[in-house]
Structure formats: structure tokens, C-alpha cells
Amino acid sequence: MKNGTGGDVSEASPIGEREWGLLREAAVRRHKVKRAAGTARSSAIVTLAIGLAALLFVLVSPSFSGLVVVAGILVVGVREWKGYGKMRRAEAGAASFLGWNQVAFFGVITFYCLFEMASFSTEEVKSAAISPEVRAQLASMPALAADMDRLIERWAPYAVYGFYSLVILVSALAQGAMALYYFSRRKALETFNRQTPEWVRRVFVEVER
């Protein structure tokens, strides 16, 4: 039989049935590991995209908390991509690395939310909601101006604290679920590495690049 360059191609398999069996068994054991690697890859891409978009926003409207959070998100995204590589290579600590990275992500989000709640000021909300021009027009209607101020003083704290508390809750559920998912892959990694010969692991890593 000839190949495309005119050379002979042997139809005989270079490996025996035992080796084929090892490959098939390893493929089954690797399934959960491969899915976890795909999840980490998608998570890294999304996280980095969010971080870059937030960076553009912070460059337009700089703030200390914003810069810290953007830096944290980008670091988490880079580490998530690194964790993807570890998981794809079936490194023993990949699951823990990715799990704790999600915990760190939750910490970054929580820091930002707590900082915003701690620095909340009704006076700043009043200034943002009612411009100096509008305030000047309301000077002739002090009762209306007082009513608007009372509404802001009453409801703004609920809105701000409620919003950031909701963000913390959603992040706890999302990042918590991701962390638990990654931690749950440790057993699959251990099983794959313990029961799979080194040359078989290398085959999968090289083929899936």
C-alpha cells in the first residue's frame, strides 16, 4: 500500500491489543478530567474578557476599589488559564489549584462589595441624583426639595446595601459551585494518574494539544 508521497505504508499496528486496551480504559478514566479542563478553559476566557472590559471602564473612571478589583479579576483569569493547562496535563494538584482560585475570585468580589458598602454616602447619592442646576431650580420649592432628599435618605441605603449583598450572594453560589466542582475532580485525577501508565498519559496530553 502506498502513501501520498509514494512510500509504503504498513497496515500492521505498531502496538498490540494490550496497549489498545490500556488506551481505551484510560480514555474512560480521563473523561471527567477532560471535561473539567474544558470547563476551566471556558471559565478563564470569560473571566479574562470580564477583566479586560472592566479595565476599560476603570481607565475612563478611575477608582481605587475599581483598580484593585480589576487587577484581582485579571489575576484570577490568568490563574484559571494556568489551571486549565494543569488539568489538561492531569497534574495531581490541578483540581485543588482551580478550586482555590474560585475561592479567591469570591474573595475579590466580596472585597469590592464590602468596600462599596462601607464607603456609601447618601450625600454623594444626592449629588449624583440631583445636579446643581436642578438643585438651583428647586430652591424656590423647598418642600419638594426636602421630600426628594428624604426619599433618597430613606431608600438609597436599601438599594445600595441590597444590591451589593445580592452580588455577594450570587457570587457565593456561582464561585462556590465552581469550587466544589473542581474539588470533586480530585478523585478522578488521582484515579487516572494511579491507574494509567506514564506513556498512555503522554499520548493523551500530546494528542489533545
SS3 label, residue 8: strand
In a domain, 144, yes or no: no
List CB contacts of 205: < 8 A, sequence separation 6 or more: 88, 89, 90
In a domain, 5, yes or no: no
User: Range of 34's domain?
Assistant: 27-111+176-207
In a domain, 183, yes or no: yes
In a domain, 69, yes or no: yes
In a domain, 165, yes or no: no
Q: What is the pLDDT of residues 73-106, one digit of tens each?
A: 999 999 999 999 999 998 989 999 999 999 999 9
Q: What is the mean pLDDT of the chain?
A: 83
Which of 9-23, 144-158, 174-188 is modeled with the greatest confidence? 174-188
CA dist 189 and 34 (Å) reads 10
In a domain, 44, yes or no: yes
User: Number of structural domains, the chain?
Assistant: 1
In a domain, 102, yes or no: yes
In a domain, 201, yes or no: yes
Q: What is the pLDDT of residues 16-75, one digit of tens each?
A: 777 778 778 778 778 888 899 999 999 999 999 999 999 998 888 888 888 888 999 999
**pTM of the full structure:** 0.78
